[in-house]
Amino acid sequence: MTTPVREVLGALMVTALVAPPASAQTAPAAHDVTALAKETQNPVGNVISVPFQFNFNTGGGLEDQTLFTLNVQPVIPFKLTHDWNLIARTIIPISSAPGPEGSRYSGVGDINQQFFFTPAKPGAIIWGAGPVLSLPTSTAVPTTTGSWGGGVGAVVVKMTLRHVFNIKYVMVLHTPYFSINI
């Protein structure tokens, strides 16, 4: 091992030996598991979540090749005032795209940062709207745009006893994205 690695491992071992043991914490209040599950499916929910979305594409222009994309989508709510929240939603695509002669291009695509202003006390219909940014962070050749982008986004959510319905519309540089999730 190199000297810096040994130093870091040594420091971690000393910290583990010297650090006081963790103390018991009071048990959190019981939560409705169904309500929590529904809240994590709400793209503008007032809960921190890190959903993953896996996309598998084949056919069409890809012919018999495949394109894989894993979207890591952390959602972090911030309380702005008594009446308003700001929901920061980041989409980090990690892609593996086919290249020439059986090769593949893999890496991170352009990051999409969405900000939704939402009422702190939502009604029967939950909604949010705000700016959207596209950041040129791609490391995979087929997904490189090399340009910054900006636009607007909106989301409408309806929760029922069994389902979460949401409609999302995002437009960045004249390129609309529309999705309906049930």
87 neighbors 73 (Cβ within 8 angstroms): no
Residue 6 lies in a domain: no
Residue 25 lies in a domain: no
Residue-wise pLDDT for 46-89, tens only, equals 788 888 989 888 877 777 888 899 999 999 999 999 999 999 99
pLDDT band at 173 (very low <50, low <70, confident <90, very high): low
Of 26-30, 58-62, 147-151, the range with the lowest mean pLDDT is 26-30
Residue 5 lies in a domain: no
Cα–chain center distance at 84: 21
Residue 16 lies in a domain: no
Residue 148 belongs to domain spanning: 31-181
Residue 147 lies in a domain: yes
The pLDDT score that the predictor gives to residue 164 is 72
The pLDDT score that the predictor gives to residue 9 is 53
Q: Does 126 have pLDDT greater than 50?
A: yes
Q: How far apart are CA 147 and CA 18, in angstroms?
A: 49
- In this prediction, residues 115-135 reach a mean pLDDT of 89
Q: What is the average pLDDT score of the chain?
A: 78
Q: What is the pTM of this model?
A: 0.69
Residue 38 lies in a domain: yes
Domain count, the chain: 1
Q: How far apart are CA 75 and CA 91, in angstroms?
A: 9
Residue 23 lies in a domain: no
Residue 168 lies in a domain: yes
pLDDT band at 23 (very low <50, low <70, confident <90, very high): very low
